[in-house]
Structures are given as C-alpha cells and as structure tokens.
Amino acid sequence: MEQNAPRQPAPTSQPVALTVAGSDSGGGAGIQADLKTMEAAGVFGTSVVTSVTAQHTQGVESTHILPAEEVDAQLSAVFSDFDIRALKTGMLATAELVELVTEWVQSQEIPAVVDPVMVAATGDRLLEPDAEQAYKRLIEAATLVTPNADEAAVLTDIEPETSSDLQSAGKQLCEMGADAALVKGGHLSGEQVTDVFVSATTADQSAANAGEGDYTSRQFTHPRIEGAATHGSGCTLASAITAQLAQGTTLEKAVKRGIEQLSRAIRYHHAVGSGGAVHHSATQQERAGRTETIAAVERCLRQLHQFQWQTEGLLDAIVPEVGMQIAGATPYAERVEEIAAIDGRITRTSMRIRETRGVRFGASSHIARLLLTAREFDPSLRFAANCRYDNRIDAVLAEQDWAIASFDRTAEPTAEEENSTMSWGTKRAFESVAETPVAIVDDGAHGKEPMTRLLATDAETLADRLCTIASRVAAEQ
C-alpha cells in the first residue's frame, strides 16, 4: 500500500434514538444529559430542542420556549432521515408542545419513554395546568412513563409516601393508558431509595412478580447515596432506558439496566459547578477500565514472582493454607463481576509459588465482597489480597506504620441474617478505626483459617506490602 494512498472508510452501525427535551447550558441535564447517556450506552442520539434554558447545577435562571413550528420542523427533519428505534420526552413546557409531541408519538410504532418534567427538585411547578392536562394523552401513548413522586401526585390522585403508594400511582398511570410506569422514590425520605415498576403482564416477567388484576409490579431498592449530586438524574435514567429499548432490550430489563446505570452515575458523580452533576458515562468508563485492571493485577503477580525468585521462597511463609488471592477493582466497580482476581489462588509448591489459571473478572466472590465493601468507606481503594495471620505476622504488623483493623467473629451473623459475612466483617473492621486500614486481621473460627487482608489504592503498593510482611517474618525467624 502506497504511503499517501487514501484510507478507506470504516463506518460503524448503531441503533438510533431520539430525545425531545429542553437544553441545559450547564450540561448536566436536559438534551445534553440525554445525548451523553445514549452515546455511553452505544446508541446514536438525535435531538429535538423544545426550549433553551440558562441553567447551572443550582437551578434555572431563565427559559426560552421555542415556537411549536420550529419543534415540528425538527421532528420532521429527524424522522425523515433517521431510523429511530426509540424516543424519550423531557421538558415540553407548554400544552401546545405536549399536544404536538403526542401526535408524533402516536404516529410512530416505536417505544416511547415519557419523562413528565413537571415539578422541579425545589417543589416548584414547571407547567401550567392546561399543559398538565395535555400530558394525559401523551401518557396514553407511552410505552413507559417515569415520574418522580411529586410528578406522580400531579398526574394521579395519589400523594406517594410509601412504596405501596408508588405502586398504586404506577397502576393508575397504566390505567390511564401507559404500557408501564416507573414511579421513582428518590424524593421520599429514608436510607433506602425504592423505585416501583408497574406494567401489564409480559413474557419477560416471572410469576413471582405477579400483582393484583392484570398488572405486575417490581421494586428496585438500593441504598441512598448521601451527599452525591443528582442534577440530571431523571433525564439520565429515562435516556438510559430509551437507549436499551433502541437496542431491542425488553422493557423490564431496560428499566433494571437503566436504574443500575443511574446508581453508578450518581455514586461517581462529576464534581463540577457548585452542586455537581451525575456522571453520564460512568458505566462506559467502568468497562473501559477492565483491561488496565487486569494488567495491574498481573503486574502485582509478576512483582511477587520476582520477589519469590530473588529471596529463594520467602513468600511461602505468608501464603495461607487455603491459598493467596489477589484482586483489583475497576475505578467504577459496583459488582463482583467488576472485580478481577486470580482464577484459582496462589499456592505453595516446594520453593516457589504459582497461580492456577490466570486472572479474570468474577473469579473470586469472597475477596470481591471484601473490596466492594471497603470501597463503600474509601472509593480510592482498588486492590486487595489475603495472607496468613499468626503471632509472627501480628508482630510484624505492629512494627509497621499502618492502620490495622479487626472484627469480632463471636458476633458474626448467620447466613440467614446477613447475605455476606465477608461484607459484614469488613464493615465492622472499618467502623473500628478512624482512618482507612491497610490491613484487616481476622482471628478465624471453627473451620475458618485466621487471615490478614491487605488493601491498597494501587497494585504496586499492595505487592510491596506483601513482600514487606514476608521479609520481616523471615527476619524474625
């Protein structure tokens, strides 16, 4: 091939989705949030702007609503050229725009997610009463409507205060004509956030979800993330669900994945402006970090192998009978499947150590739960390992300038009381010290070997700490 020969195009093919909403000059909500979220989910996003706002993370300074004919022209342009697979609506502002968009939604045989932007986070109403009334026809045409508790109160005769109220509001919205409703409970008080999904019975729902009459419901509950930025959360959730629908995902699975995507976006929010904004591409960034994470765990292993070879087997002294495990979390890890670990464990064989089957994600649920729980207290922690715990190692740990934590196994809950005793023990350990611990010591119990579990922000530091312990134990012999 000649050096100056033209390159051939290599186009990609993605489903196309549409957002019909207002613009946010702050970039965290509205059209901007929708397009960022769709792109992160692997969907090409198109947009129809209904209004232009002077907005930031603290609120809206002013709003300019576009004429209905301009909105109609945008809709016509998009649908005439793109194969739209799903659409969502956000801020529609006036009764005239709600009615216009309703006509377009009714004319298209594609999933439509309606986010009824009616009530601001401050509780202020964003629409005139005639526009609120016009929404009822749009809801009738919706595949899914996603009101928060305040908006559900406007659309129904229910003021949600409990999850049961959320379910009742969702059922009423379905009775108004929507195929399904996701009534969000983030505005309600409590340590847990509960969103309730209500729909007509479909093939992708199990009998365990069955509710009264012709409707089924499912609750999605997760811990509230105190102090996190939520600006743009409603837009991001509706867009994430729309992107899933554009890719052919069934509705309930799209809702589940959308909620998971939003939860991560809030946890790892952007510290921008005075109030922050959700991280629309946090899930995409988690996937992007997997290759680097596996490489980091492998670097740690190489460092341990080199130490073992140079010291003629000193690492053997700290490898537990059950074997040593090394694990690394992606920067945005939230689940066991997002923790890379050794497939098997490091074991002792004569004068050398070896791991059995390389490194992969989801290889160790035990150390993954340890690391995920530790990250609830300090999200900068990304790597963990286990090693022996005995009197010699206890003495070595006491020599180090490290924060050491522990937990009392006599208070350990049963499997029925606690889903993961590893998570329980890690939480107790972190609560026992004022700073992030370097090591968590476990005296063991009947059938459970005593153990030291080390934590670090990077793989090299973790390997250094393991080597330090092994060297000091050898020196004390």
Q: Which domains does the chain have, with CATH numbers?
A: 16-285 (3.40.1190.20), 289-476 (3.40.225.10)
In 10 A of CB 416, how many CB atoms?
Answer: 6
Q: pTM surpassing 0.85? A: yes
β-pairing verdict for 44-56 and 339-342: unpaired
Residue 147: is its pLDDT beyond 80?
A: yes
* pLDDT the model gives residue 206: 41
Whether 215 contacts 202, CB under 8 Å: no
User: Helix 365-377 crosses helix 421-431 at what angle (to 10 degrees)?
Assistant: 30
What is the spatial distance between Cα 312 and Cα 298, in angstroms, rounded to a whole number? 21
Q: Report pLDDT digits (tens) over 2-47.
A: 667 788 899 989 999 999 999 999 999 999 999 999 999 999 999 9
Quick one: residue 192, left, alpha or beta (phi over 0 = left, psi -120 to 50 = alpha)?
beta
Indicate the pLDDT class of residue 121, thresholds 50, 70 and 90: low
Q: Report pLDDT digits (tens) over 422-448.
A: 899 999 999 999 999 999 999 887 778
Q: Report pLDDT digits (tens) over 384-401.
A: 999 999 999 999 999 999
Residue 292: is its pLDDT beyond 70?
A: yes
Residue 233: is its pLDDT beyond 80?
A: yes
Kindly report the CA angle at 234 between 232 and 239, in degrees rounded to 5? 95
Of 107, 84, 76, 102, which Cα lies nearest the Cα of 116? 102
